[in-house]
Amino acid sequence: MNPDRPINLNFTLKAWSLFWLGLGLSVSSAPGQQAKNQLVGTWAPTAIYTEHKDGTKVETFGPKPAGVLTFGSDGHFSLQWMRSDLPKFAAGDRLNGTPEENQAIVQGSLSYFGTYTVDDSSITLVLHIEGCTFPNWDGKDQRRSFTLAGDKLTLSGIGTSGLPFQDELERLK
């Protein structure tokens, strides 16, 4: 520091302000962090449907879908969807269902888990599936567009049938 040169206090304050502002922005704008924080929690389905080319909507898990979708703050998720009217097995043993009972369970339920990331810029949720009751999805990524409005979450995408689907969820409290 040169003792003959006066300190420009105005410049120094501006420089420090810019430094702290920049530091704050770099910490708070981690990609996907804002939406990811809003997703954290447990959600229950209110409607799950596929839309056919003629515009008709088919309720994938019936008129009253059951289940939960949980997003952890650690980046893990778990999803279980099922029809609320699944048949009970006559034998009382899940390993001894009839072909019809087994088919109803397979077609009326879906469960998978893994990790997730969020891209705030494209409003896309990416589910990195580690395990699924439909094993063709094991190790695959599933992309979902989403909207968040308070305690309502809507996920949408293209299903394995090639048709668009929508999951409407409410936050559990």
Q: Which domain holds residue 67?
A: 31-171
Does residue 46 sit within a domain?
yes
pTM of the model: 0.79
Whether residue 14 has pLDDT greater than 70: no
Does residue 7 sit within a domain?
no
Does residue 128 sit within a domain?
yes
pLDDT of residue 49: 97
Does residue 19 sit within a domain?
no
pLDDT of residue 144: 96
Per the structure, how many domains does the chain have?
Answer: 1
Does residue 10 sit within a domain?
no
Does residue 8 sit within a domain?
no
CATH number of the domain residue 127 falls in: 2.40.128.280
Q: How confident is residue 4, by pLDDT bands cut at 50, 70 and 90?
A: low
Does residue 63 sit within a domain?
yes
Separation of alpha carbons 130 and 128, rounded Å: 6
Does residue 21 sit within a domain?
no
Q: What is the pLDDT of residues 36-63, one digit of tens each?
A: 899 999 999 999 999 999 999 999 999 9
**DSSP calls for 111-173:** EEEEEEEEETTTTEEEEEEEEESSGGGTT-EEEEEEEEETTEEEEEEE-TTSSEEEEEEEE--
